[in-house]
Every structure is written in structure tokens, then in C-alpha cells.
Structure 1
């Protein structure tokens, strides 16, 4: 159970499927992607019969476990998108992502979803000379594309995030800190109010054109949407579509004003730094520090298990990293620790689409940046399904088909080797102060 979900003692709000049913649209997965899709479909056409099937409870997966960054981050860089699709398409996708941050806040306010939304932006710190090189490069690239990303001096960065060894950083206003479980559970209630049939504890065992099969019955629909992200490999025939990679988090007890007067985050800015093995954090609405990162192993065969949510070694690494950033937290109690899988496509390219020949639709592959991207996906799927001719359906990620992951053991070897190399690169850069050539190559392979 994540800290975010710990406020909920009962998840029996929506009944399991009991028997065969029919719908105009059947959505598999009641996380952000599935619920945003249902929400915008129901708004666009209230006459549609929409059914959502969820294996556990709404928000059980990454939607209820993530770091609470509603950001404009996209897995692929603006440079990659420019080279692949052209500058106008790249800028259109970036603009759509930026506006999505505000759209999430707008809907939350309109639907009365109190998800602790605070648009304080994101600070990415540079804490070594090598990290400062990357910060300057990011700011220069953003400036070349007319994207708002501010290069911060050491003093400016420290004023926002009072961490140790700050040499500089970058700031973007296009991010809001949220309480992710409140958002996803609020969305579930919002779609139910609009007549969507939501069935929890109804795991889909087969997904194919025109139907979604569960042990209790089959839902038949001309449109079937796969919105299963990191849990996709559990579906027969989809084992190599998405690789589930685990990200783990910790959260402290509420911290006193004396800590925050030094640590900053006065506008609840989300924060990270320019290390290669990603870390991320936020100041919660009740003044805890929630902090997470990658580093947990990928499990052979894209296996997913509740036992993988708890890796003591990774939790210890997170605690050390947090104490290195904020030494005042060295003795602070970690009140919660949790984890869960996120979804990674083979080319690190998120995608959304609808195959008109089969009626199968999909969205995902967010690489951990799904809070905002899933909203854009839901709006795009709604337009594709209803046939609306909008700017969203012409964005470059629409219809993209990622290659399948390699069979095992190559997948296991490749993913885990990459994480070990990124960890080693961070150690090397801390020691030498120079950018790691190996990490640079890996970054170009995955996103540049």
C-alpha cells in the first residue's frame, strides 16, 4: 500500500463483473489512462455505453503509487521528436503536454476532486560539474526551441530547493504536485456519476477484437481499449509489448517548519537532480517529503509480484540519497515505503492509437511520466473513438507502433545491465566531475 492510498480503508465501491455484458466501448484498466478515456468519452457523447474493467481497484497500479508529478515531461526528447517527425510536430506535442498540466487542474476543480493540486513547477538540481554540463545543455536546447526552461544559478536553485552541493539547475513552471490516489479515486467517482459502468476486481484474462474476457463473464464491444501500462505483459500475446520496470518510494513523517525554512519548496515545487539513475521528490500538502527513484531490478519474464514492491536495498539507497540532499533528514522517520511497476516500450516512445480494422485501441509506455501524459492520451482516445477531427489526433505519438522487446534472457540482461551502467556512471561522475561517455551513449539510445 502506498502512502497515497493509505487514506483509503475500503476499496469495495464498484462491483465486480457478474456475467456477460455488452458495451459501445470497453476499457481494460482503471488507472489514469482508462479513467481519463472514459471521462472524456462520456463528456463527448453521453449516450455511449462505456464499461471499465479493473483487476484490483481503481488506482491499484502506478496511478496510485507514483511520485505525484503532473508534468509536461514526455519520454522522448524534443530533439528526437524534431528529427523524427519535424519541428512543427515536435513543438505541437510539447505544447499539448504543457497545456495538459492545466487541464488536469481544471478538471479536478470542476469535478470537486481535492487532489492537493499545486502548480509550483519543477527544479532539477545540478550537484556535480558533470550535472551542471547537462543542465546548461538542456537550457540551451529549450531556448533553441522556444520552450520555457530557466537556467538557475547556484543561489537561485538553492533558494528554491535548499539541498547540499548545489551548483545550479533548471526550472520549468509546467508541473504540478498532486496527491495521485486522490486524483485517480476522484476520477473513478466522476466517471461513475456520468453513467460509466466500472467493475473492480474483474481481471481480464484475454483481450481481443470485440471482447474482453474475465472469469466471471465476457464484455463484448466494437471498441476495446488496452489501458494496462506496466501490467500489460499479464495479457496473453502482450508479453513483449511493454517491460514493467519498478520504481520505489519513501515518505517521511510530517516535517516541522524549521526544516522547511531551510529546505524551501515553498510553492511545493517538485524536484530532482541531473544524476542518471532517476530520483524525484515533492513536498506533500501535509508537509512530508515524498521521495522516490529507480534502481530496483527488472524481473525475468516481465514478472510482476507484490513482493517486488519492497526491495530493502533500494529503500536504503533512497534513504541515503535523501539524507545526502537534506542532511537534516538523517534521523527523520520514514513512515511509508512502497513501490510498483511502470511501463517502458522498447523504443522509450509513449504512444496512443486506434486500429479501425480491429477496434483495438491503446495508450501507454509512459516511462514513469504518465500522470500528465495519460490525460492527453485519454482526450486523444476519446477523439479517435468518436471520430472527432482535432489537433490531438494529428500529434506525432498517435498511431506509433513500438518494436517488441527482445525475448528472454536478452530482455532481462539488457534492462538490468542498463540500470547498473547508469548507477556506475553516477559514481564515476561524482568522483571525476566529468560527464560519463557510457551514460551519454545510453541516454542517446533511449531518448535523445
Structure 2
């Protein structure tokens, strides 16, 4: 069982039977690969599409995440504006806002039952420093013409999330809580029914223009799309393209109505707070509290292993944080499920999508944990790029962006883990003093925020 969402491993679809040719070969049967296949085959049923997956659909982050279908991008709008200009940055954020509804539309149209509920996100402020960041976030959003990020008083924030020490917060409507494994499995079934060839148990060992190499033979295609996110470094030539950073989660048993009355989230809002080391949670459709956070170490050489999915110290920290936020759960709340997995981080903390027409190699990723919604926009964009459609999507500023490579080891290991420790230290210092720290500001500059 890789996550509460996925449950027992599913029966795999058959692997690639041998060498084959297609119009488009997609490497990775997570959200990015399956959304790309979905929009390709929906726009042109004659396109021959293959999806190659080393394990099974949703094995990676798509089946393990926090279940936030949000409009979040890994880089803030001000950062995007400095890089691309104000109007392109605003256009990209507006496209992301609309993406949440697009995911809901497809789920309804295709009969994908994934507990989609658009209750928005509440981010509470629990210290004076966090209150300042909340106010700055709303002011910054308004300066770019967005009026849908609302600053909450202490009473307004607590009406949505009755955590301890709530002094204020913000609310955005642009998020839906989902059961992510149900969505990714549903997408795999839908694209298969539409004629896409989904081959599971088929690892891709190398990519090159016009071909994806597998142990079962070469798949040839004029367009080959890399949709491997946190597993990208395992491909030859991509070892420094994306760093796999681990995020871990826990889930409680279904909670009684009396407990939920003391916690809140009556509209299934997703939630977080304004600390630096990210936490995230949701009220599941079956009444559990699913809760996660960062803090697990980066592993030397961008290595990924099932053994890294479980960090007892991080799981205990998550339980303790839950107990601090919601005393009704107890100091160490009962946990029925715990899991983790890698997400993809580019050196400049920027997601991108693109297609090199000279080589036919396409890509999307670098979502830094915000991929449930972003992958849908990426899939739609890749479909338009591949089919040659001149749409608003292909003119968004993240199209064709190239992040610089990560530093070689051991610098990468030293830098990433130092940043993780510094972020945790900044939160601890703020909790003691209530004031922002210079250390946090330094980490934000290093990560491009």
C-alpha cells in the first residue's frame, strides 16, 4: 500500500508486448501523462498515443499527494512577473484559477468519481509574523488585480478552521478537495477506453529523439513526452534536471461529527498555515483528517527508494503538529495510515511545459508539490503544442521555460538539506519570538520565492 488513497496495489495492465510505433509516446502514467493523453485523444481520436509506466497508473505523486486540486504555482505571481513581465504572469495565474473548474468539468463529463468538492483553501495565521505574511499575501494579490484572496479576521478564520492560536488568515475559493488516486485511476480508465495504449510495468530506460527505450523493445514516435516529475533523475542525462524532495502524510480514522464540530472544515476546505516548512491537510469525504508536510531529507544523488517513503521522525512530528493544532485529537492523535513519496523540484522552483520541435521531445513538470491542478493545465498545453493549435495556452509564459540544472553532488545534497534545516529553524525561531527571521528571508531568496 503506497498511500491511504491508493489502498492495495491494483492489478496491472499488461506491459508493452514488444517494439512498437505511435504518433506520441508519453513516459509516465501520472496526472501529467494521463491529462496529456486525454486532451490529445479528445481533440483528435485518430492520434495513436501510448503511455509507458514503470509501475502502475498513479504510483508516483499522483496517487500519494494531499488531494488539493488548487490554483497554486510553485513560484509566486510577483516572482513570475519579475521573470516574464506583469501581463504574462497574470495570464498564467488566471489560467490556473480556471483549471480547478476544468478538472471538475472533466470529472463530471467522464463520470470520474473522486470526491471532487470545491470548498476553497483556508490558510491560518498563528503568530504575529504569520499575520504579517497573510496581509502581505492579500495586498500582493490585489496589486495584480486579483480580488478573490480574502484577508480573514481571527473570528472569520476560526469559523472555517478551529485550530489553536488562530489570529487571522486568508481564504481563496480556487481549490477543490479530491481523492487523488480515484482521479488518476479514473483518467487511466477513460483514456484506455478512448483508444490510448496504457502499458504498465514498462520502465523507460532512455529517451532520445523519436524513441523511448524499454526492456521490451523500442517505442518509436515523432513526439516523446517526459512526464516523470520526481522520478526524472533516474533517466540517463536528466540526473540534475529535477531534485526529488520527499513529502510525507498521515491519516486519522474517520472522526465523529462531534470532533469535526471542534475542528471545522464544514465545507471541506483544504487547509494550511503561514509557517515556512509547508504543512497541508483536508477533510476527506469519509470523514478522516489527511495531513502532510515537508521535512524529510533529500537523498544523495537524487536517489529515490521505497525505503525513503517512511521517516518515523517525520511521521511523529506530523502527529505532534496535529495534536498541537487540534487538541481534541489528543497530544499524539491516532493514525491509521502513513506514507510518503517524492515530488519534483527544479533549481529555480519553476514549473514548465514545452515541446522542442527539432527533436520532438516534450516535457512538463517541476510542480514542487502543486501538481494536481498544474498538471491539467500542462496536459492541455502539451496537447495544443503537439497538435499545432495556436491557442492562448501555448502563449503562456511557462511554455518553453528551461530551468538551469542543479549543482553536482555533494553540493546538491549539502545545499538542499541545509535549506530544509534552515526553514525548520526559522519556524522554531518565529514560534518563540513571534517575529519574522532573517533566516527565512534568506531561504526564500535562495529558492526563488
What residue in structure 2 maps to residue 368 of structure 1?
369
Unaligned runs of at least 5 residues, structure 2: none
1:389 is displaced (CA, Å) by 0.1
1:80 is displaced (CA, Å) by 1.1
Q: 1:181 to 1:396 in 2, by over 3 A?
A: same
Relative to the length of structure 2, the TM-score reads 0.98
Does the CA-based 8 Å contact 1:75-1:447 persist in structure 2? no
Deviations 1:107-130 (CA, angstroms, capped at 9, x unpaired): 011110000001000001100111
1:359 is displaced (CA, Å) by 0.2
Q: 1:55 to 1:9 in 2, by over 3 A?
A: closer
SS at match of 1:94: helix
Distance 2:178 2:362 in 1: 28
Relative to the length of structure 1, the TM-score reads 0.99
What residue in structure 2 maps to residue 56 of structure 1?
55
1:439 aligns with 2:440: yes
Distance 1:406 1:10 in 2: 38
1:332 is displaced (CA, Å) by 3.6
Distance 1:425 1:24 in 2: 50
1:447 is displaced (CA, Å) by 3.5
SS at match of 1:321: helix
SS at match of 1:213: strand
Does the CA-based 8 Å contact 1:117-1:179 persist in structure 2? yes
What residue in structure 1 maps to residue 183 of structure 2?
183
Does the CA-based 8 Å contact 2:297-2:417 persist in structure 1? yes
1:357 aligns with 2:358: yes
Does the CA-based 8 Å contact 2:323-2:333 persist in structure 1? no
What residue in structure 2 maps to residue 111 of structure 1?
110
Deviations 1:130-155 (CA, angstroms, capped at 9, x unpaired): 11110010011111112110000000
1:167 aligns with 2:161: no
What residue in structure 2 maps to residue 400 of structure 1?
401
1:9 is displaced (CA, Å) by 5.0
Does the CA-based 8 Å contact 1:77-1:447 persist in structure 2? no
What residue in structure 2 maps to residue 249 of structure 1?
249
Distance 1:212 1:180 in 2: 28
Distance 1:146 1:263 in 2: 33
1:203 is displaced (CA, Å) by 0.4
What residue in structure 1 maps to residue 30 of structure 2?
31
Counting only pairs closer than 5 Å after superposition, residues 252-291 of structure 1 correspond to structure 2 as 252-291=252-291
Distance 1:237 1:9 in 2: 31
What residue in structure 1 maps to residue 315 of structure 2?
315
1:41 aligns with 2:56: no
Unaligned runs of at least 5 residues, structure 1: none
Does the CA-based 8 Å contact 2:279-2:291 persist in structure 1? yes
Equivalent residue pairs, number = 446
1:10 is displaced (CA, Å) by 2.6
What residue in structure 2 maps to residue 145 of structure 1?
144
Does the CA-based 8 Å contact 1:253-1:332 persist in structure 2? no
